[in-house]
Amino acid sequence: MRIRYVSVALVGASIAALAVTPATASATGLPAPDTDAIRTVQEAALSQGAPGALTRVDDHGTSYRVVSGKADTAAQTRMDTGRRFRTGSVSKTFTSVVVLQLVAEGRIELDAPANEYLPEPLPDHTITVRHLLSHRSGLYDFSNDMFYQTVPGFEAVRNRVFSYQELIDLSTARPLTNTPGAAYSYSNTNFVVLGQLIEQVTGVPLGTHYQERIFTPLNLRNTSYVHPRAAISGSYARGYLRPDDATLPLVDSTEQTVSWAQSAGAVISNAEDLNRYMSALVQGRLVKGDLLEEMMRMVPVNADGSQFYGLGLRARKLSCGVTVYGHTGTMQGYYTYAFTTPDGERSMTSMANTSNNGSVNTTLGATLEASFCGSTPVTTSTKHVSTFYEEIAPGVARH
């Protein structure tokens, strides 16, 4: 056993927290998370324009937490890892879980035409439920046009309440981008159709499914689906959207209905909950057996073969050889990465509270390597911090 003393900044004071961890940092055989590297990544994201950033890694009951910068730039409130935020497309994994549970219950067939379950048919009868879940339907992504101009596009929809059909109609006004099944083409439309499909088949609102099938069983108390309500409750990070003219000030984009994304992107959560959720997901506690295998069966989606998509689930192969499962998210004001090891024993969530800033998004993605592959040996040290803090040991939570 190795004993590490790590200082934790707490409201103007530092206390020493004692963390006892096994000599092997993880039963997955991975190196320990490198919190210094995570901090460096987050500070780089801040230098590129993010007001704040957070990362929480949960590994076998030990949590590693790194925060940088501000949760609220007007109030000058510091970021902390307990804060809620808009998860964007991480929501797609929740929608996928609901669909696959309905498949397990015999109410939906994965390879059946989606039109069998929809109130209004899609233009191509060969689009299956599986095509929607794997972004292979060819349905055009309506959000490309909606946010062609970033801030005007956002302001035009931030208080709108769309029906599923209104969003689907925006997509189907355009031709399919590929023959159904023929190619991967990421599109929010797929998961809007799936939201409509879930409600059509069950007669139950999507939010109720999320709550009863996922949030409540996993005790995700910081996770909610409040569409079309625009506010985030509890302790949260404000989101700041960068205008296309990057010389203009950031736009506070925290409050919005997210109706433009709903079943494709409107879940609110925090890092602790997303970590618990992703672990439970790959451990088969939400979707079981063959269906979980289907969900996690990955197809490469980028040129170098390091990124993959399954059914509403992404995977990334990292430099130390591990493949991690989860999803990324982009919502006005928030970039998110939420991933876990195949055994679910180590999960990480990173968030930066800005968007429309590709540099920040790319930079933030480097927390994956630092969290799962480490990079420097963990040393016994006491760190005094001012602009950020780290917390190791679950007993010293700071929310």
Residues near ligand REX (CB under 6 A): 88-89, 143, 147, 150, 153, 188, 241, 261, 264-265, 328-330, 332, 355-356
C-alpha distances in Å from residue 389, one per residue of 35, 43, 260, 281, 363: 10, 12, 36, 29, 19
The C-alpha atoms of residue 206 and residue 274 are separated, in whole angstroms, by 19
The verdict on whether 263 is a catalytic residue reads no
Residues sharing a CB contact under 8 Å with residue 322, sequence separation 6 or more, in sequence order: 28, 30, 341, 342, 372, 373
Among 89, 259, 263, 371, the one annotated catalytic: 89
Q: How far is the CB of 356 from ligand REX (least distance, A)?
A: 4
Closest separation between CB of residue 188 and ligand REX, Å? 5
Nearer to ligand REX by C-beta: 83 or 135?
135
Residue with nearest beta carbon to ligand REX: 89
CB of 382 to ligand REX, least distance (A): 37
Closest distance between ligand REX and the C-beta of residue 72, in Å?
A: 18
E strands in the chain: 2-10, 13-21, 52-59, 62-72, 77-78, 85-86, 240-241, 251-252, 268-269, 299-300, 307-309, 314-317, 323-331, 334-340, 346-352, 354-355, 388-392
* Pairing between β-strand 354-355 and β-strand 240-241 as defined by DSSP bridges: parallel
Instruction: Pick the closer one to ligand REX by CB: 66 or 250.
Output: 250
Q: Is 169 left (phi over 0), alpha (psi -120 to 50) or beta?
A: alpha
Query: Which lies closer to ligand REX via its Cβ, residue 215 or residue 337?
Result: 337
Cβ neighbours of residue 77 under 8 Å, at least 6 residues apart?
A: 70, 71
Smaller CB separation from ligand REX, 232 or 392: 232
Closest contact distance (angstroms) between CB of 327 and ligand REX is 6
| 88 or 344: CB nearest ligand REX | 88
Active-site residue list: 89
